[in-house]
Every structure is written in structure tokens, then in C-alpha cells.
Amino acid sequence: MGMEVYPLIFLRILDNLLSRKAIDMRKFYEKENQHLPAKELEDGLKAISELPFYNISGYTLSDITKDGNTAFKLLNYIEGFNDEVRQIFALFDINHSISVLNSKNILKGALNIILSFNIGNESITGDEYRLIIEYFTEQLTLTMGKEFGEMSTPHDISELMAAILTSPYYRSLARRRYASSASIYDPTCGTAGTLYAVKDALTSQFSSRDVMVYGQDINPRNAAVAKILSLLTVGTTDNIQLGDTLTADKFEGRKFDYVVANFPFNMAITHDQDLFSFDPKYSIASSKNGNVYFVQNILDHMNETGKACFVAPMSSLTAGDFGSGENSLRRYIIENDLLDCVVALPSKMFPSTNISTCLWVLSKQKRVSNRKGRVFLIDARDMFSTDSAKRNILTNGAINKIVSLYQNYSNTKISKRVYNSDLGELLLSVNQPQRDYDGEIIFKDGEKVANKDKQITEVAPLSVDANHYFEERILPNVDEESWINFSGTRIGYKIRFNDFFKKDQEEISSSQALDALDKSRKRVNTLNQNLVECQNNLKDIQHVEGKEIRLKFVSTIQSGTQVSPQNFIIDGGAYLLWVSTIENGKINFQKCKQITEETMIKKKCVILQEGDIVISTTGTVGKVVVIPKSDKPIVMGKGLVRVQLLDNNIDSKSLVST
């Protein structure tokens, strides 16, 4: 019943603030209702309450629980609030909550429980009530899981975002421009926890600054909570709006000093694409993944010196092929030098998802600082503790360490400065010429005709010279008359965290090392025994000049090499033989993958010779083939064993047929 009880908590808070003046407000209303204009009447009631809201029912929550008709009196009580508050409780759908609780005969009991909460007296400030609300919301999120999981960002993540955005690096630059005010915007504000975390951080550092928060959320309940927080802290709710940020941006054209967000991850876009194609703020990239549009919304709302920090799935760092929406957006952000920092967060930090997440930090200030042209990466994936709900959390110590790394801007085991170009990739498109039956190149209008069946692509680091890379790495493995098709060459960006943060091997004690060595020896002995057994299983006997000779005395046996798919190319320097390419005692060369000679050398592949016997030891065990002549070298993949005869007097084909 947490969802139904939740709005009653807010009633309790407002009641706690108004209860002392309940009778006075009622008397004033009865006396002046027929005489004063609406605006003067409202101002008079607010003057009595000394708050930006009031209630004319004359009730307190305590009065409502004393006699019968609890539901009726509670509805009248809610109706007695000013319009702004009534609209908030309409967003909660509080009438439905009251109906549900009343139908179960627990409405009065629920009110009594809420009235028993000690939430202070009238001296409690709006900001202190905000902390109480955030506490209740977080507790319900933890106990109810996904039902409440989308309401707010975990407090520790909000605190980290706020600390990074307002760290001294930014503060020193901010002093130059903002003497008295600052604005913070969240396009998917939830219950506004992150907005207020940034506000608190700013006001604690710049006590004289007037900090205003703005937010929008598609969920009515979230918007209701955020509006109450705003009402209690700044006296208005106009700065919090309800609606779909992507298609009905209520802050269209507004620019802000800080933008924060924890948008829904990987949301499928079901809107008509025309809704986005005609909106200039979504002109950078298009996609069916909502992440792309939320980030563009964030970029659109950053002012000329703006900063932003948002939570995103780790996949946002690498998702999308060249030219895709995700890749194009990364390219725009990095090439415009907007990406300041990426922080990889621990897993299992959100109650509603186990998706691995990270923080993106954007800045329009880095272009005039020592961070120009670079991105700072922080690996905080192991900086977690576990709470009672088995959720990974960031302690204050962990947050301080991450912020310290961010400020120091140094290379460590868990932080790296990289150049923007280090994150870039070049997709080289290579054309090979079409040749006639005599091997001559075919020309058309003086240009070499490309063989469409032999077009290849290769990914190269963006920092290399494309022509040099082509000549050194590609041309030796293709037709010598090949050329780069620059019209088909593309640029993309991927932030592969694991490429920058290699995990060190664990230190072990001498006793552990000896134990591991002993286990390794046992494994080697076992492998030797298996090899002997394999040789014995292959002990087909050949009669040479009337003698029986065991195979192990006239052959060597070797196993194949693992070659990963990223090494495969269309027209390579060698065939890769594996189990599935052996069919009925022959090699199906059409199925064979091909690799470069460079890969063949690098992987130390076993090069098969004509007459070698190859036997499969995994998959379909026992497949046998005798290696024939071939136009290219044949190398042996994993799951195969080569039997190479040492005695030329023994015929491999007759041996296999035997």
C-alpha cells in the first residue's frame, strides 16, 4: 500500500506547517470571502499562514481522525487548499488513494500512523522538510523496488554529480561570470533530488548566490513531489513542469548554467520520427534509442559557459557502428571538445536495474582551460560498499576520492588523461581492381573499375596517417593495385574503458605460488598422458617391408591455434582450417575463413604441409583429412591435431584409408 500512503506524507508536512493557523485562516475566509477580490483574499490568507500556500477548511489532520466520515472530511480538507496545492495533489491522484485506503478500512489507521511521525515543528525550514521527503522517498524506493525505482536518483550518485559539477576546477571559472545567481535544469527531474544536491553544493560554496532550479518530468507523481519541494523551498511551482521532455519541452529555448539528468536508459523511441526531424535541437543525430535525444536536449539547454553531468549506461560509450546515431553523437561531442570527463560507476547502484552505468561530464569551459583537447577517464567500478539492501553504494570517502581524482587531473591506476583523437577510429574502405580473364585491370573512363566482390573495410586508429596505414598494413595483403575509397571512409568514436584500464595481476604469497606451480605440474602431466593416449588411439599399423611400425615412432603431433573472428578478412594470405570445414575427408575451401600472413605469424599458427594428416578432437571428434595442394598456405585452427609423418616411405593417404 506504499503507493497509496505516499501522498499522505505530504499532507502531513503541509498540515504540520499550517495547523497553528487553521482556525485563523478559516475565520478570515468566512469574513472576507464575499468582500475582497480573489487576489487580495489570497494574499491575505498567505499573510496569515506566513507561507506561499494556505487551507480554508478549518481542519487539521488530527481533527479528521477524531470522528467518523474520515474520507469525506479528508477530501474537504484537500479541497480547502489553494489552487496550486490542489493541482499538486491531483497529480498524485490522491482521491484514488483515499478511495482505496477507505475501501480497505485502513484510511483512519494510515492517517494515525502518519500523524505519529515526529517531523518537527513550525521552525523547520523548507530545506529541512525537503530532506525529510527525500528520506521517505528513498526508503520507499528501497523497499518497493521497481515500483518506486524511477522516482529518484540514488542519493550517493546525486551527491557525486553535484560535487563534480561544483568542484574547484569549475568554481574558479564560474567566479568570473556568476556573481549573484545560477540556474540548474534537469530534463527528467524525477523527484528533483539531483537538482537540489547541486543547489546545496553551490549555496554552500557561494552563500550569496541566488540559485534557482528548473525541471520537467513525464511522471505525474514525480512532478507532484518536485513541485512540493519547490513550493517549500522557493515558494513557487512554475519552475517544475509535467510533460514529455522530448516532444513537449516546457523550457524550450531556455539556457542554463548547469544541466543534470538521469534519463530512462535505452528507451525505445516510438514517436513519429518527423517530430524530431523538424526540431533543430535534435539535428545532430537520429536513432531509435532515446539516449541520443535526451543527450541532445541536454546540449541544447547548456548556456555559453554551461556544464552538464548525466548518468548513462556504459553501452553509451561504445554502442553504434560508424554513422549510427550513437556514434555520430559521440563524434559531435568529442570533436567540439565538450566531453570533459567520464566516470565508470560500480554496478548494481540502482534499485530498478543492474545495467552498468557511468557519468558523462560535459563542459563548454574546458576549451579555455588546460583540459582543452583531452578527456579524463576515471575508473570507479571497484569503489563501492554494500548496504543492507545489498545495493552497491558510494560512501563519502569514495565520493571524495573520485572528486579528488577529477580535480588533480593526473594519470593513476584508475584515472587517465587521453587526447580526443585517442578515442577516434577510422573505417577505411579499400577497393581492389576488377581484372579480366588475362589478369589485366579493367578501366572505365580512365579510372580503375572496383571489384565489388572484393571490397574490404578495416578499422584503424584515427591518430594514424591513413595512407601510411594502408601501405604498411593493408596493401601487402590485397591486390597490389588496390586503393583507398575515401568516399566510403568514415570517422567514429568509441570510449573503450578496458583498453585504458588493464587489471593488474593479483599479488600472491610464496605458498600460493608453490601451490599453483604444483597444480600446473599436475595439469601438464595430465596433458602428457592425454597426448600419449591420443597417440595410442592413432596407432594404425603400416606394414613397411614386412615390419609393424607404431605411428608415434614415425610422426610428430601438434594441436591447432585459437584465432578470433576479428582477424578474419575476405581475401587473406592463408586459409584457416577448422572442424566444420572438413567434409567427407576433404576440405571445403568455400567455408574456410582467411587471415593475413601477419596474423599467421603473430598467432604462431601451425602451417600445414601437403600430406599432413589432420584429425578433429572437439565437436565432431574423429574427422580426418589429408592436406592437399593449395594456392595459399593452410593453417590449423583450434580443435584439430596434425599428424606429420617423419618417414617418407609411409603413404599418408593409404594410412588414412586403412
Q: What is the pLDDT of residues 462-514, one digit of tens each?
A: 999 999 999 999 998 899 999 999 999 999 999 999 999 976 555 556 666 66
Rounded CA-CA distance 633/640 in Å is 16
Whether 154 and 95 share a structural domain: no
Confidence of residue 545 (pLDDT cuts 50, 70, 90): very low
Q: How many domains does the chain have?
A: 4
Quick check: is 395 in a domain? no
Residues 83 and 212 placed together within one structural domain of the fold: no
Domain-embedded: residue 162: yes
Among 90, 124, 158, which residue terminates a domain? 124
287 shares its domain with 185: yes
> Is residue 321 situated within a structural domain?
yes
Tell whether 186 and 119 lie within a shared domain. Answer: no
The Cα-based distances of 19 to 60, 224, 228 in angstroms read 6, 22, 17
**Integer Cα distance of 410 and 416 in angstroms:** 7
Return the CATH number at 191. 3.40.50.150
Asked if residue 610 belongs to a domain, the reply is yes
Band of residue 616 on the pLDDT scale cut at 50, 70, 90: confident
Q: Is 351 within the bounds of a domain?
A: no
C-alpha cell at 398: 569514495
Q: Binning pLDDT at 50, 70 and 90, where does residue 621 land?
A: confident
Q: In the block, which residue shows the cell 606429420? A: 644
* Residue 549 forms part of a structural domain: yes
In a domain, 378, yes or no: no
Mean pLDDT, the chain, integer: 86
pLDDT of residue 543: 41
Given a cut of 70, whether residue 563 has pLDDT beyond it is: yes
Lowest-confidence region among 151-160, 262-271, 340-349, 553-562? 553-562
Residue 440 falls inside a structural domain: yes
Minimum mean pLDDT range among 145-159, 423-437, 449-463, 508-522: 508-522
Q: Verify that 239 and 366 share a domain, yes or no.
A: yes
Is there a single domain that holds both residue 484 and residue 549? no
Residue 548 pLDDT greater than 50, yes or no: no
> In this predicted model, what pLDDT tens digit does every residue of 269-307 receive, in sequence order?
876 666 777 788 999 999 989 999 999 999 999 999 999
Q: Clarify whether residues 158 and 245 are in a common domain.
A: yes
Domain membership of residue 116 as a residue range: 2-124
Cβ partners under 8 Å of residue 607, min gap 6:
574, 600, 633, 634, 635
DSSP per residue over 412-467, as a string? Answer: BTTEEEEEGGGGEEEEEEEE-B-B-TTSPBPEETTEEPB-GGG-EEEEEETTS-HH
Residues 598 and 632 in one domain: yes
Read off the CATH number of the domain in which 643 is found. 3.90.220.20
Counting Cα atoms < 13 Å in the Cβ hemisphere of 149 gives 14
pTM across the whole model: 0.74
Residues 336 and 275 in one domain: yes
pLDDT at residue 214 tops 80: yes
107 and 153 co-located in one domain: no
Residues 6+ apart with CB under 8 A from 108: 65, 70
Domain boundary among 332, 348, 372: 372
Residues 156 and 278 reside in one and the same domain? yes
- Is there a single domain that holds both residue 83 and residue 153? no
Residue 542 pLDDT greater than 60, yes or no: no
pLDDT of residue 540: 47
What is the pLDDT averaged over residues 4-10?
A: 89
Which residue, 55, 89, 124, sits at the end of a domain? 124
Name residue 342's beta-bridge partners.
Answer: 360, 377
